Amino acid sequence: PRWASWNIGVFICIRCAGIHRNLGVHISRVKSVNLDQWTPEQIQCMQDMGNTKARLLYEANLPENFRRPQTD
């Protein structure tokens, strides 16, 4: 992925980046991994969370048959 929601601490695809941007910066703050400048705080947020840890936190109560959004 070339995009990240740094305040949530996850890497996302370009399609999800658009969705996250529409949520508003009070929910998700999206940056390009390689085109934008990153502050040490933003990098630390990514290191502290990561996709695996975020999935365990944010998807902990989803039913087993929940279908995650796909690129299709």
The model carries a pTM of 0.85
Query: What distance, in Å, lies between the first and last C-alpha atoms of the chain?
Result: 16
The pLDDT of residue 54 is above 80:
yes
Q: Six-digit token pair at 6?
A: 């740094």
- The residue assigned the tokens 């630390």 is 44
- HEC string of 2-40 equals CEEECCCCEEECHHHHHHHHHHCCCCCCEEECCCCCCCH
Digit-coded pLDDT (tens) for 5-38: 999 999 999 999 999 999 999 999 999 999 999 9
Q: Six-digit token pair at 45?
A: 């947020």
